[in-house]
Amino acid sequence: MRDTPVMLRELKVVEQRYRAVLEVLDGTPVTEVAERFGVARQTVHRWVARYRDGGIDGLADRSHAPKAHPWRISAEVEAVICELRSSHRRWGPRRLVFELGKRGYPVSRSTVYRVLVRHQLLQPVPRRRRRDQYRRWERSAAMELWQMDVTASLFLADGRECKVITGIDDHSRFCVIATVVARATARAVCSAFVSAMAEYGIPGEVLTDNGKQFTGRFGRPRPAEVLFERICRENGITQRLTKPRSPTTTGKIERLHQTLQQELLNVHGPFASIEDAQAAVDTWRKQYNSDRPHQSLAMSYPASRFAPPAGDTLGLRVPAELARHSPPPVPGAQPVRDDRETACSATAAGSHDLQGRAVELDRVVPPSGNLWVAGQQIWLGPAMTGRTVRLWAGLDRVHVLLDGYRVKTLPSRLDARDLARLASAGARPAGPPPLPPASGEVIEVERTVNASGNVSLGDHVISAGLPLAGQRVTLRLDGPVAHILSGGILARTVACPVPAQARVRLRGGRPGTAQPPRLPEPLTVTRRVSVRGAIMIGGQRIQVGLPHAGKTAEVTVESDTYQITVEPGIIITAPRTTSRDIRRHKASSYG
């Protein structure tokens, strides 16, 4: 006969305790029951007592939590914590402890943290270990050291992206500079720096990164002193620079940027104008300095630790090029006058008579090769660095002359007011345009561009560019330059390697006309704005603005600028910093 299988079933805890109680009630000694169930005698006695009091339900597990928590916060305080966190999403446990203390609720940071996690108002994250190589440092008093930098991500309603020039006192974290500018040029940075010193005094040191606005140590082809370094030198300020690629050295100013971004720029929509943006930044800066406690200062306010210098101090020395445009300084500031300022004052009275007339002025080509005159960019190339050129500027054209020879001609973007300002700044009234006479000095020849983009002139080779390969072009040899014309329109200007005495012997040479070559019509191309709000053209990245991401922009290519039209009525002007040929004329199909 087959044995019937035995079904095994795991007994629950309550069932095991119930069987132990039944054995005791049937007369089995407590010691034997305790030994068989693997518990102490006292435990079996406790089970029996609980069974007599509550029946089988009394044998269930009971909570071990204490019946009373003497240090537990009240429901009122917990509700206040949740309310503050809900209305101020960026306030963490430390800030909430500070605000609760002001309201008369003394609680610890860990208590606030647990309340926020319990109510799902804070996502718990693993604690990151602090890097041992970070060293915290701080100056012992205010005005000993300022940190300065430039940040972005401030947009206007028309899509333009502006910059914010910032400065902070190292000891007190007091924000001394928060200036909104369209472009963070060296002059804009220095003007904000001078205005802050006129208001708060001259710091002992200033710490910045290695941006071109702050230092010329990495200038090409050779280092040179920039305007910011000159201001520091003349006012006895020790300038300190960070190591390259070391943003933690200026950690205080970088943390200020994060606070500005999260508390103002991320929550505020595009500003109507730069003036509106500056007003909003000024309001935020006042709150940051006086009404916002700082955790690194033990929840003190930056204004409570900042104290401008008192007593007799040396006056602020302002360079002449900034003194004419800066706001009036505080009493004691001493603008430095130089010969250029004297010349400006001498010619200012007659500037009205020169309005609209062409002017001449001399400029030194900077290391970048980009020369700026009254807002117009003139690209000459790094090879011209340090050389003095003469500019003939009128309402229709701008001529560039080197050693008496005209090396470049481009359309003028100057108006009568620009010419008047140049005249008041020392520019001389110009003579007739430096156009060549029709006396045979200008030679024109016709050549066919080969497959490599080159043409031959005697024993010399001139690069016309691959886009002209196979075309018949006219080369106009004018002084030290050669103008390459395609269809009567200027296509390229290069240095002429043919000596003047050998040009008359060139095959097919003929005397040129007195009129300069006709400039090409502006090229118009299209570009798709990326998800980051930028376009690429001619190897140059131009920030159009995040509000225009995904749109198709129409770009008008001029000799020194790009005119970008994103929407009807919204035109963005960007300087052209490269001289690459633009080969792609249509926008890509992808974003």
Q: Which residues does 291 contact at the CB level (< 8 Å), separation at least 6?
A: 301
Q: Does 514 or 465 have the greater pLDDT score?
A: 465
Buried b (16+ CB within 10 A) or exposed e, 118-136: eeeebeeeeeeeeeeeeee
Domain boundaries, given as residue ranges, for the chain: 13-59, 75-118, 145-305, 339-429, 443-511, 523-575
CA distances from 453 to 126, 234, 470, 484 (A): 62, 52, 8, 12
Structure tokens at 81: 């914590």
The average pLDDT across 279-287 equals: 92
Nearest to 411 by CA among 568, 582, 561: 561
What is the percent of the chain where pLDDT is above 90? 19
CA distances from 262 to 164, 277, 497 (A): 14, 15, 58
Q: What is the DSSP string of 123-167?
A: ---PPPPPPTT------SSTTSEEEEEEEEEEEBTTS-EEEEEEE
Among the ranges given (7-11, 320-324, 345-349, 490-494), the one the predictor scored with the smallest mean pLDDT: 345-349
The average pLDDT across 214-221 equals: 83
Pair 440, 367: CB distance under 8 Å: no
Highest mean pLDDT among 50-54, 128-132, 164-168, 527-531: 164-168
The average pLDDT across 554-562 equals: 82
Nearest to 444 by CA among 397, 490, 380, 396: 490
From the options 3.40.640.10, 3.40.50.720, 1.10.10.10, 3.30.420.10, give the CATH code of 145-305: 3.30.420.10
**What pLDDT was estimated at residue 194?**
93
Pair 509, 503: CB distance under 8 Å: yes
Nearest to 573 by CA among 587, 560, 583, 585: 560
The average pLDDT across 226-234 equals: 90
> Is residue 288 scored above 80 in pLDDT?
yes
Nearest to 458 by CA among 507, 509, 508, 511: 507
Nearest to 483 by CA among 409, 379, 432: 409
3-state secondary structure of 120: coil
3-state secondary structure of 365: coil
Pair 219, 297: CB distance under 8 Å: no
Q: Give tens-digit pLDDT for 171-205.
A: 999 999 999 999 889 899 999 999 999 999 999 99
* End-to-end Cα separation, the chain, in angstroms: 82
The average pLDDT across 472-492 equals: 85
> Is residue 350 scored above 60 in pLDDT?
no
3-state secondary structure of 41: helix
Please state the pTM of the whole predicted model.
0.46
Cβ neighbour number for residue 140 with a 10 Å cutoff: 8
Highest mean pLDDT among 65-74, 104-113, 263-272: 104-113
Q: Does 282 or 502 have the greater pLDDT score?
A: 282
